[in-house]
């Protein structure tokens, strides 16, 4: 499925819920968000139907996001259904890792292939401060479970924020030296709750890579591990893991973007940083055929912008990141 810029759109990120079991300071306010009524959220069966429709026009990779996808009842069933779609060749999930130890075996058995886990700090006190309600040990247990289950590759995502966790860059990078993990450093993006943080908190990927090399040694470019993500990857010596950088601000990768997003409320969002969405829930609940639903995905691809406009700040005042899906 080609968009107007001739990019091959073959990757669908599905926000399965707006709910989360953490309250990360850069994602949502301390009191959380006003949850969307259940009847406005797509059912698991509706998501299954939409994956079939998307696969019919070229979607080959699916990632489940949230909120926190593992708090959604039926997520194991959804993964099993997606795995049954013959043309889908990659199923992944982005999670905070809190429930991965508990649900990991079921997810693996259902067909989950790989996992991205958010990990912004290795300091227990700081983790509690950032997440407000979380326990770092639960995430560590989840990472260990993912490795034991053979969910490969296991990618860890850290958003580096000046004055918050920029003093942990070396410790986080060292995880890829000591373990077969893929540590990715993500530039802080002005999205939702983090919009006001960017001016004072932004740390460029170049600054992070310079710190890593100063502390651990030269970064050697390597091929990307499995996945359709935008990170560039490096290895230090013969380390079992890699270190990646996602440069959404300093060096955008929009020319290679291959994704659409399906929100939990049933809209297709062609670009994370654009307010434009196409309603697919209404035709779905009105009895539209798979072919008609497929055409909505094609329409969304055709209106996908050539690049984001993050420099202008976050414009969508009605949604936070947890309500869109990362």
Q: Is 4 part of any domain? A: no
Here the tokens at position 298 are: 């094609």
In the sheet that 11-15 helps form, which strands lie side by side, from edge to edge?
Answer: 220-222, 232-235, 242-246, 182-187, 154-160, 114-118, 90-95, 61-65, 11-15, 259-262, 267-269, 278-279
pLDDT tens, N- to C-terminus, the chain (326 residues): 999 999 999 999 999 999 999 988 877 777 666 788 999 999 999 999 999 999 999 999 999 999 999 999 999 999 999 999 999 999 999 999 999 999 999 999 999 999 999 999 999 999 999 999 999 999 999 999 999 999 999 999 999 999 999 999 999 999 999 999 999 999 887 665 555 556 678 899 999 999 999 999 999 999 888 765 778 999 999 999 999 999 877 767 688 899 999 999 999 999 987 788 999 999 999 999 999 999 999 999 999 998 766 555 555 556 556 567 65
Contact in structure between 14 and 62 (CB atoms under 8 Å): yes
DSSP string across 250-295: TS--GGG--EEEE-TTSEEES-TT----EE-HHHHHTT--HHHHHH
Write the CA distances from 23 to 30, 48, 96, 105, 131, integer angstroms.
6, 29, 11, 26, 5
Cite the DSSP H helix spans in 35-99.
44-55, 75-83
Instruction: State whether residue 105 is helix, strand or coil.
Output: helix
Q: What are the backbone dihedrals phi and psi of residue 323, each rounded to the nearest 5 degrees, phi first?
A: -95, -5
State the Cα angle at 151 between 108 and 216, rounded to 5°.
160
pTM of the prediction? 0.91
- Strand pairing category for 267-269 and 259-262: antiparallel
In the beta sheet, which residues pair with residue 184?
A: 157, 244
Residue 3 maps to a domain: no
Residue 258, burial from CB neighbour count under 10 angstroms (0-12, 13-18, 19+):
buried
Nearest to 258 by CA among 5, 2, 10: 10
Range of the domain at 122: 11-324
Q: Does residue 61 sit within a domain? A: yes
Contacts of 96 (CB under 8 A, 6+ apart): 20, 21, 22, 68, 117, 118, 131, 134, 139
| Phi and psi at residue 272, to the nearest 5° | -55, -40
Quick one: tokens of 61?
Answer: 């990779």
Which pLDDT score, from 0 to 100, does residue 205 have? 94
Dist CA 154 CA 150 (whole Å): 9
| Residue 1 belongs to a domain | no
The DSSP letter of residue 244 is: E
Helix, strand, coil % in the chain, rounded to nearest 5: 40, 20, 45
For residue 180, give the CATH number of its domain. Answer: 3.20.20.70
5 is a domain residue:
no
Report how many domains make up the chain: 1
The pLDDT of residue 326 is: 58
Q: Is the bond into 153 cis (omega within 30 degrees of 0)? A: yes
The pLDDT, as a whole number, for residue 129 is 92
In a domain, 52, yes or no: yes
Residue 6 in domain: no
Q: Measure the CA–CA gap between 250 and 195, rounded to whole angstroms.
A: 16
């Amino acid at each position: 499925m080609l968009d107007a810029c001739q990019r091959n759109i073959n990757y669908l990120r599905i926000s399965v819920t707006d709910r989360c079991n953490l309250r990360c300071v850069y994602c949502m306010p301390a009191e959380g968000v006003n949850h969307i009524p259940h009847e406005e959220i797509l059912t698991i069966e509706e998501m299954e139907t939409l994956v079939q429709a998307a696969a019919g026009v070229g979607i080959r990779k699916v990632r489940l996001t949230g909120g926190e996808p593992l708090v959604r009842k039926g997520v194991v069933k959804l993964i099993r259904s997606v795995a049954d779609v013959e043309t889908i060749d990659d199923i992944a999930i982005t999670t905070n890792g809190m429930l991965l130890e508990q649900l990991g075996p079921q997810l693996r058995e259902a067909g989950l292939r790989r996992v991205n886990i958010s990990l912004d700090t290795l300091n227990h006190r700081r983790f509690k401060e950032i997440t407000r309600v979380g326990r770092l040990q639960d995430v560590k247990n989840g990472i260990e479970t993912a490795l034991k289950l053979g969910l490969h590759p296991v990618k860890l995502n850290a958003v580096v924020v000046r004055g918050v966790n920029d003093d942990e860059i070396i410790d986080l990078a060292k995880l890829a030296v000591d373990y077969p993990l893929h540590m990715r450093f993500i530039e802080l993006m002005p999205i939702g709750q983090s919009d006001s943080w960017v001016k004072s908190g932004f740390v460029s990927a170049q600054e992070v890579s310079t710190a890593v090399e100063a502390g651990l040694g030269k970064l050697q470019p390597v091929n990307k591990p499995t996945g359709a993500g935008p990170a560039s990857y490096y290895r230090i010596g013969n380390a079992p893991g890699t270190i990646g950088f996602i440069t959404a601000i300093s060096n955008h990768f929009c020319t290679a973007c291959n994704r659409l997003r399906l929100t939990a409320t049933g809209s297709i969002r062609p670009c994370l940083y654009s307010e434009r969405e196409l309603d697919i829930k209404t035709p779905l609940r009105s009895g539209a055929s798979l072919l008609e639903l497929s055409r909505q995905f094609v329409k969304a691809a055709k209106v996908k912008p050539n690049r984001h406009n993050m420099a202008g700040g976050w414009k969508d005042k009605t949604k936070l990141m947890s309500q869109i899906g990362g």
